[in-house]
Structures are given as structure tokens and as C-alpha cells.
Structure 1
């Protein structure tokens, strides 16, 4: 037996195996009496409402506790970080 025959036998066995699995799955799906079906149905009486823009106006932004954030050197930034004086408001982008 050479490599070509070996590969053909392995492929044939796999194809037969998957064909049996697919046919068994199809036969199980066609059975008319399946009392264990797990389907969930929701029925709600929902009536759409028309919303106007002035009904849901966005609230004013809350005032920040920091009024200004002057530039600092890297050494000062590390010193402020050690004293927990920095306020992180968003992720830092390095790209």
C-alpha cells in the first residue's frame, strides 16, 4: 500500500463516517413526534408611540471637578501618579 492508497482509504472512511452522521441527524429531524422541543415563544401587546424631541431632551453635562489641565512634564506626571493626583477619564491611545 502506497501513500496514495492510504490517503484515499482515510478520505473514504471519513466521508462514510460524516455521511452516516448527516443521515442520522436528518432522520432524527424528520421524526414527527418530538415532545422535547425547546422553543420559546413570547407574545406581548406592544403599541408603538410617537415620541417628540422635546420630551426626551438630553440633560446638560455635569460640571467637571477639574477646571484646567495644564501640561506637565513626564517627570511631573509620574510624581502626580504616585500621589494619586491624576484623574483618568478615558483610555490612552498609543496609535
Structure 2
């Protein structure tokens, strides 16, 4: 529950309408489920340290990264930053 509340921001139900709050809670729950899928993919890799990460660590180390994206006609190319420490883990997760 702590991960859902603090790390997926599902505690921000500050709107006065029921449906708006319901939608925000729904988005937080979807984000949590997507992070659980990502955690299960991380556990199938050969890296040991990322297997103990929480959702906030996954957001910090894997999702908040610097990259350039080029989209020509048929393919999508991405160029990761040279300072990105978990580049190999990111590529392994993208190819699974």
C-alpha cells in the first residue's frame, strides 16, 4: 500500500468530484500494475542489485533518463546518455 500511495501518487485525490477522484485513483492503480510487470521482468534478468528496487528506485534509475529519439520513416532509434549506468539493463528489458 505504501508503494501505491507514495510512489504512484494515488493519494492525490483533491478534486471535489467523485468521477475525477475515481479516475485519478484508477490511473494510480494502473501505474502500480505496470510497475509490478516491470519488476517481474527485472527479476528475470541477470542483474542482482535491481532485483531489490522499489518503485521509486525503478522510476529514478530506469525511467528518468536522458535520451535522444529519432523517428525516420519506418523505425524508431534511441540514443541513451553515456552517463546512464544501467544502460545494459535497460536494453535487456526493452528486448524481452
TM-score normalised to structure 2 length: 0.31
Which structure dedicates a bigger proportion of its chain to strand?
A: 2
Structure number with bigger Rg: 1
Which of the pair has the greater relative contact order for Cα pairs under 8 Å at 6+ separation? 2
